[in-house]
Structure 1
Amino acid sequence: MSHPLLFLWAHSRSRSTAFFRMMLERGDFVGVHEPFSSIVAQGYADVGGEKATTGAEVLDLLQTMAQSTPVFVKEVTEYRYDVLDDPRLPRLGTHTFLVRHPEPTIASHHFMNPEVTCGEIGYEHEYETFDLIRQRTRRTPVLIEAEDLVASPETVVEDYCRRTGIPYDPAALSWSEGEQNEWERTAKWHQDVVRSTGFSARSNTYAADMHNHPRLAEYYAHHLPFYERLRTASPLDA
């Protein structure tokens, strides 16, 4: 690869699509939106105009793309993907992570999908991915907390760029409203970002949450430890 290949892994409802929108605004990265979850949801992913039906095929296409242009891949961790078993993954590009406190994300996810399962909440899968990258590379991946991102976007994004070795572009912190072709398959999930013009700390309220819905309370209890492990992982940097 002669250009950066940058991954952002995040559980659903973490503000990862806003981060993806910011990366598109830069103009120097080609954005690939949720290729591994696309394979689960519809049997294939579109990666740079090519069809992939396995995680290995996605990695092949990403490697090819990165020979000619910087590539940014955003993926949600609703599922455990077969690509985690591919030995190339940990050292293919730079892997970064985004996490948000589970209380609002679980309520939001349930609002969007009342049939959401515990696994689809995503923190457990995100931690498995994070720890795999960490153990195989002996380096602790860059992790952003969504609360910090919306409170101080300039500081957090500048630090992210420094730590991943890409130029910082403050102009990309604001953008125009509108849909993006890259997220067409999952457009209904991203309407807050469609209406946004930058990172916002606005939070929605929902009738069902962990305080009044027993199943959501169980999800919260299951995923909170993985959230904490992500936030407090000890450095392994060589």
Structure 2
Amino acid sequence: MKIAMWSGPRNLSTAMMYSFAARGDCTVWDEPFYAAYLDATGIDHPMRAETLAQWQRDGHTVANACAQDGVQPHFYQKHMCQHMVDGIPRDWMRDVTNVFLIRHPARVMASFAAKYEDPTLSDIGFVQQAQLFDAVAQDTGHAPLVVDSADIRVDPQGKLSALCTALGIPFRVEMLHWPAGPRPYDGPWAPHWYGAVHRSTGFAAAEGPLPELSGQAARLADAAMPCYERLAAHAI
């Protein structure tokens, strides 16, 4: 099975990739379109030079690879919604099972703003995520799978079991833990973004109250809320 997991940044997405890799029957790919996105937009992200040097820049080449089977029974692709800019193919999405990983905008903004200066709404991916969700729903005739990162942190085994059942694959208890430290399949941007997950050996505990935001962070979180709430209505 080919699984395309769609999220924005700071959304438990790397921990989810580690979880699926820990199954032992799953090839994983970390943000396949990141270099193509950077090349197309010219955006100056942390580790830009390393990403462009080490990751495939041609979106069509990446898309073709996403549509192919992995070397193991399952192929898990960690995708960022904001990477799917004009010119990057989307037709390959018909050849995979698309799942949408969501997180409350206030939590995303509190985490993202600590790592990236002056973010915009397009940087955090909520609008693009809703657009991709709608496109998949229209193409398939039904809403695609949605999972909320908060639910995974509350009950990792229960929610991952439910996700695996919905995907039609068996849950494996190995998905709950992984070794601390970098992974060989991390993207070259990992030194900037993955500090917390590199220190982890499993999913973090349930989150506390929502962070209090102000200024631009609060405005962006408010703008993202309708997209989040629309997808949250479909969460398993």
- The alignment's TM-score, normalised by the length of structure 1, stands at 0.83
- Counterpart position of 1:9: 6
Structure 2: where are the runs of 5+ without partners? 41-47, 49-53
The alignment-based identity, stated in percent, is 25
List aligned pairs for 1:108-187, cutoff 5 A.
Answer: 108-187=111-190
Q: Pick closer, same or farther for the CA change 1:105–1:57 going to 2, 3 Å.
A: same
1:168 Cα deviation from its structure 2 partner: 1.0
Shift of 1:51: 6.4
Cα deviation per residue 1:121-172 (whole Å; 9 max; x = unaligned)?
Answer: 1111111111111111112111111111011111110111111112210122
Per the alignment, residue 232 of structure 2 pairs with 231
Q: How many pairs are equivalent? A: 222
Q: Using the TM superposition, give the Cα deviation of residue 96 of structure 1 relative to its aligned residue in structure 2, in angstroms.
A: 0.4
TM-superposed deviation, 1:38: 2.8
Secondary structure of the residue that 1:134 maps to in structure 2? helix
Instruction: Give how far 1:68 is off.
Output: 6.5
Partner of 1:62: 66
Deviations for 1:100-141, whole angstroms, at most 9, x for unmatched residues? 111111011010001322211111111111111111111211
Aligned to 1:219: 220
Match of 1:72 among 76, 80, 83: 76
Report if the CA contact (8 A) 1:55-1:81 is conserved. no
Q: 1:190 aligns with which of 194, 213, 218?
A: 194
CA distance in 2, matches of 1:139, 1:204: 33
Gap change, CA 1:203 and 1:158, over 3 Å in 2: closer
Cα displacement (A) at 1:84: 6.7
Evaluate the alpha carbon distance shift between residue 212 and residue 70 of structure 1 in structure 2; reply closer, same or farther with a 3 A threshold: closer
Question: SS state of the match for residue 81, structure 1?
Answer: coil
Is the contact between residue 96 and residue 141 of structure 1 (CA under 8 Å) also seen in structure 2? Answer: yes
Q: State the Cα distance separating 1:202 from its structure 2 match.
A: 6.0
Amino acid at match of 1:152: D
Query: Higher RCO, 1 or 2 (CA under 8 Å, sep at least 6)?
Result: 2
**Structural RMSD (CA):** 2.7
1:213 Cα deviation after fit: 3.2
Name the counterpart of 1:47. none
Secondary structure in 1 aligned to 2:185?
helix
* Cα deviation, residue 24, structure 1: 0.9
Counterpart secondary structure, 1:166: coil
Question: Can you list the C-alpha shifts for 1:158-199, whole angstroms capped at 9, x where unaligned?
Answer: 111111112210122111101012224221211111111111
Q: CA deviation at 1:92?
A: 1.1
Q: Distance in 2 between matches of 1:67 and 1:192?
A: 29
What stretches of structure 1 of length at least 5 have no aligned partner? 45-49
